[in-house]
Amino acid sequence: MLNFGVPIPFVSHLGFTLHRMAQGESELHYEAAPEHLNSFEVTHGGATMTLLDVTMATAARSETPDHGVVTIEMKTSFMQAARGPLVAKGRLLHRTASMAFTEASVYDAQGRLCSHATGTFKYVRRALDPATGQPLKSISSD
Separation of CA 89 from chain center: 9
| 29 CB neighbour count, 10 Å cutoff | 15
Q: Which residues contact 41 (CB under 8 A, 6 or more apart)?
A: none
Q: 79-110 burial, b for 16+ CB within 10 Å, e for fewer?
A: eebbbeebbbbbbbbebeeeebbbbbbbbbee
Domains of the chain, with CATH numbers? 9-140 (3.10.129.10)
pTM: 0.90
Q: For the segment 44-78, what is each residue's pLDDT rounded down to a tens digit?
A: 999 999 999 999 999 999 988 888 999 999 999 99
Q: Which helix (H) or strand (E) holds 12?
A: helix 9-14
Q: For the segment 96-132, what is each residue's pLDDT rounded down to a tens digit?
A: 999 999 999 999 999 999 999 999 999 998 776 677 7
